[in-house]
A and B are shown apart, each in its own frame.
Chain A
Amino acid sequence: MAGPNKLGMRTFVAPIPVLKEEDKDSTINHLQESVNSNPTDSTLQFNLGVLLWEKGEKREELKEKAVEHFVIAAKLNPQNGDAFRYLGHYYNRPEPQRALKCYQRAVTLNPDDSEAGDAICNLLEEGGKESLVLAVCREASEKSARAFWAFRRLGYLLAHQKKWSEAIQSLQHAIRGYPMCADLWETLGLAYQHMGMFTAALKSYGRAIDLDDSRVFALIESGNTSLMLGSCRKGIEQFQQALKVSPHNVSAHYGLASSLLGMAIECTNMGAFKWGASLLEEASEVAVRGTSLASNMSCSWKLHGDIQLMYARCFPWTEEVGADELAFKSSISTWKSTCFLAARNANRSYQRALHLAPWQANIYADIAIASDLALSLKEYPKEDLNTWSVAEKMCLGGLLLEGYNDEFWVALGCLSNHTALSQHALIRGLHLDTSLAVAWAYLGKLYRREGEKRLAQQAFDRARSIDPSLALPWAGMSADADTRKLNQNEAYECCLRAIQIFPLAEFQVGLAKVALQSSYLQSSEVFGAIQQALQHVPHNPETHNLNGLICESRSDYLSAITSYRLARCALISYAVESSESYLNEISINLARSLCKAGNASNAVEECEYLRQKGQLDSEGLQIYALCLWQLGKNDMALSMTRALASRILSMEGNLAAASVSFICRLLYHVSGQESAITSILKMPKEFFSSSEISFVISAIHVLDQKNQLESVVSSSRSFVKSQEEIISMHVLISFGKLIKHGNKDCLEIQRGVDHLRKALHMFPHSSLLRNLLSYLLLSSKEWRDLNLATRCSFLDLLDHQKDEGIKSSYEILGASTVACYSIGSFDSKFRFSTCRDQRPFGNRAIKTLQKYDFPDPRPIALLLQFFIY
């Protein structure tokens, strides 16, 4: 075993303390005397030599004198390696061979002697004898585990020879000796990186950077490794730091631009288009700076092309507040031209890349994609007389060079306008790789476009089973919901999955369309989707119309109105074929929103305009009549109602029911109860065959003391079927009992309570019934019922948006607690508590009310006041 013990005769040198100049001189004189008296003591000779050597740093004659002593010391004790090292130093310049021998002797005697070891290696390297250097280092490292200089040099050499795994061992060993050497850490990082151990590489580079933060190589390589591991943010930091150290470094520019691109792609896939676009602007600047540093690097231009292409795809259109038609149009054309310019820049950059390296097949495909995008964004696409489009031709270019690349076939399949060629290309791609999910997905899309629903379904299913993280098959599934016999909810789920995987505007519009027919219209997913879709297809009237419908469903009528206006504008300006019926549909939507927003006069204008065109359908008539009534133009409202009534017979079930109930209500409001009842009695019986109408006439019936509608109501009630409707009907009936059996000033509460009790027996879970009951009990002002009231009522969280007319459960709960408490504390007649758990319950009631984020603070305040007093 090599080690200090075996080479134990190393302690020749007595520790010579650092001495001052005059002390040195005296020590030298003293030693000189000792040597003269004892010339065979090698230690004395050596020590004298060292002192003379140090003193003679600039004076050759002293050095020569020192060497004499070293030679004597070495002769007297041939095991003194240090003497040989000094001799090596002396001969280093004039006689390298002699020096080499001295150093070799020194290292043989003491393999840990790093000074001599490095000197040998430097001498050998100067002579170009790399293999000898390797041998010397190997030998020393085998002899002694502490020969760190040998391990270090070995590590560097092995790394240079790309023997990474051996290099790692040597470097690790060397680092034990030189833990503060940044070069070692950096080389270790490189070796790890080449062995594919990226996390370890990052750590090593990180150590090197800790030791010396100006290590450009370590910074850039750790940036590259971070990118490879998919963490763009870290990469950005590291490349930025590298650029601070070395502002003209091409690799750092390239790395920074590509990590910014990576982060922008992440943002865009999340749907944060504006963020992505601003990152891409920054990335593009960095990439341009990179290309100006080295304009003949094909990859830099390709990166710039990638950035610009991504920018063209993700740059969002932004709606200006209060935009009129002109501003809308100009904002769309600005947006379009920004995208077009980016696509053209991408195309140009790819062409530069190709011009520099025309043998790179992938750039042909890039040009194809960029020119296809640029063409689609052009304001006035010019007719191309060539049989092949540029996109198709450039795809072929890639294929000619690399026909075995399935991705190029898929690209051709997507970019070609000819169905047959497209299908052929996709199938060729699948020949090369049967499990190419993308090709299956696009094949499905192609078949679907051609109306081959069964084939489309098969292709989509296959794509989905190969790669469930692909958006297109999910969207395809949702679009084919009818043939696949999926219900609305499943279709919605599929489409939602598609946009969560990839936020494409077409999918988002599709989601909104599916949501229209399902119960998800108000969900924030749909709202988010349509808002994102607006950023990318603002020229599509459908997007604005859907946005309007969604805003309307969320009761944001003002936004809905703006959206419908924009939809109409987009339809007139950008639709390929202006569709009259679609325009009318949007106008009616607009009129409805205006009406809901309380802007009756504008709504009337819209309807009047439609009426003049003869395009006012039954829904439009209803809105028109309603708005006219709101404006106080009762005569016109009635005439519209008559027009509506004349159409009822030709309407289908639901619409007819809606129209009839609308007419009844309007008549009631315009002409009063009596005339409404008369009209209702005149109507044919088959009009009343729906629950909706049953409610309207029941409500009128409730108010009618003469019971003229008894027969109509009882016959129509047979259409009230669902539990919810039955409960509501019970509520109406109990109202009827309250009114009909009471007198002018006082309601007959007890009759209502009785009816509600019976109803509650049937539907014990109905919060509506319970709340009404407790309300009635409270209103009855009978003290013994108060306690009952607090127990009857229960809080239903989901309940608090509905039923504006009836008191909310919170209010009832609060009021009854207050009532209980006030009776208990102020009425001295009662010596015992009338309400059980009077105080504790009171506290609990407050807590309950607070917990549910009470929408109306008054009862709480009231309660608190009570407790304070």
Chain B
Amino acid sequence: MKLAPLNTVQNAHDDSIWTAAWVPPVDDSSEALLLTGSLDETVRLWNPEGPEKLQTNTGHCLGVVSVAAHPSGRIAASASIDSFIRVFDVATNYTIATLEAPPSEVWQLQFNPQGTTLAAAGGGSASVKLWDTAEWQLIATLSVPRPEGLKPSEKSSSKKFALSVAWSPDGKQIACGSMDGTISIFDVPRAKFLHHLEGHCMPVRSLVYSSAPLDSRVLFSASDDGHVHVYDAEGKTLVTSLSGHSSWVLSVDVSPDGAAIATGSSDKTVRLWDLKMRAATQILTSHMDQVWAVAFGPTSRTDVRSCMLASVSDDKSVSFYKYC
């Protein structure tokens, strides 16, 4: 299990790159592509072969905080700081829909694995917003319950500021990470709050469910407190805690085989963690500034045991690695 650096694109954007997501291949003949979003208000599409810039999408008035790709690989969504979501066709950059939410109320975006719903961490509204992908209508708002004894006007309501969101592989559960370090689990079909997962003491900026078939209740979370937690999302328990980053952990993603996770951090490193050993097996220091996002690509067609990993950073560069 290791990461082999492939390529780095310096100055991939004009300013800090904040987010990245892989677009799965549309059919057998095509390859997976990488979408990146940046403070320079653009979204760019990359072919890891080369690597080569395929497209630059404009249209946002402020920095792009999140990009998400539909499992079909045909459409994708990007959101900027002013809570403006643009849904577009990946190949043609044609705008399919624009979704507007009150400012401060859209952060991380995620399509469900079935591709029927787009979820957004609703920031100041302390909720997860769900749009259906057929009509692009807002279908539900899953609110994080307020701590008891708090009036709506009280300032601490912003403590539940929702930053991150993740779908369980079956699309029935959503996890939502908040500024105060709690993670809320929702039952999507019943639109119901289930429980909190406690343990982090600082904002949770990234969440991901395990992709291994039998581990679908395992949730990984990355927090500003410098730790990565592994939760049993259904059993409400903290399974283990992975420590090692010397600053905030900004992003976490799990490998397709479910055996490893990668993290990006404010300490400018990318780390690969072996889940069996519960330790970092590799520390990559190629970035010059904090690493805002790491993302594992789909498994390679030629070698089922390997896949791509991409990391993006404040230093304006995109790095590609081979994981095997």
Contact = CB atoms under 8 A, between A and B. Distances in A.
Given A295-B290, A364-B103, A354 B248 contact: no
A751 interface: no
B83 A397 contact: yes
Given A348-B39, A355-B65, A390-B61, A396 B124 contact: no
Given A355-B18, A394-B103, A397-B102, A296 B62 contact: no
A398 to B, nearest CB: 8
A351 B103 contact: no
Contact of A351 (B39, B159, B314): B39
Given A364-B103, A401-B104, A404-B153, A359 B179 contact: yes
A381 to B, nearest CB: 12
B169 interface: no
Interface string A385-411: 010001001101110111110000000
B104 A352 contact: no
A358 interface: yes
A351 B124 contact: no
Contacts of A398: 104
A295 to B, nearest CB: 5
B306 to A, nearest CB: 32
Contacts of B104: 358, 364, 397-398, 400-401
A358 B63 contact: no
B82 A400 contact: no
A367 interface: yes
Contacts of B257: none
Of the listed residues B62, B103, B159, B247, the one surrounded by the most CB atoms of chain A closer than 10 A to its CB is: B103
B288 to A, nearest CB: 10
A394 B39 CA distance: 16
B15 A397 contact: no
Contacts of A386: 61, 84
Question: What bracket does the count of chain A residues touching chain B fall in?
Answer: 20 to 34
A359 B82 contact: no
A351 B38 CA distance: 11
A384 interface: yes
A725 B104 CA distance: 73
A359 B84 CA distance: 17
Looking at chain B's contact residues, the main secondary structure is loop
Interface string B229-248: 00000000000000000011
Contacts of A359: 123-124, 158-159, 161, 179
B63 A351 contact: yes
Nearest to A390: B61
Interface in B21-36: none
Contact of B266 (A295, A384, A394): A295
B107 interface: yes
A351 B123 CA distance: 15
A351 B81 contact: yes
Contacts of B16: 352
Contact of B158 (A394, A401, A404): A401
B124 A397 contact: yes
A300 interface: no
A371 interface: yes
B103 A397 contact: yes
A396 B102 contact: yes
Nearest to A396: B103
Of the listed residues B81, B105, B153, B158, the one surrounded by the most CB atoms of chain A closer than 10 A to its CB is: B81
A384 B60 CA distance: 11
Contacts of A397: 82-83, 102-104, 124
Interface in B239-295: 247-248, 266, 289-290
Given A354-B81, A359-B179, A402 B155 contact: yes
Nearest to A395: B103
Interface of B: 15-16, 18, 39, 61-63, 65, 81-84, 102-105, 107, 123-125, 153, 155, 158-159, 161, 163, 179, 247-248, 266, 289-290, 314
29 contacts: A295-B290, A296-B247, A296-B266, A348-B15, A351-B39, A351-B63, A351-B81, A354-B81, A355-B18, A358-B107, A358-B123, A358-B124, A358-B163, A359-B123, A359-B124, A359-B158, A359-B179, A371-B61, A384-B61, A386-B61, A390-B62, A393-B82, A394-B82, A394-B103, A396-B103, A398-B104, A400-B103, A401-B158, A402-B158
Given A295-B266, A296-B266, 7 more contacts: A295-B289, A295-B290, A359-B123, A386-B84, A393-B83, A396-B103, A397-B124
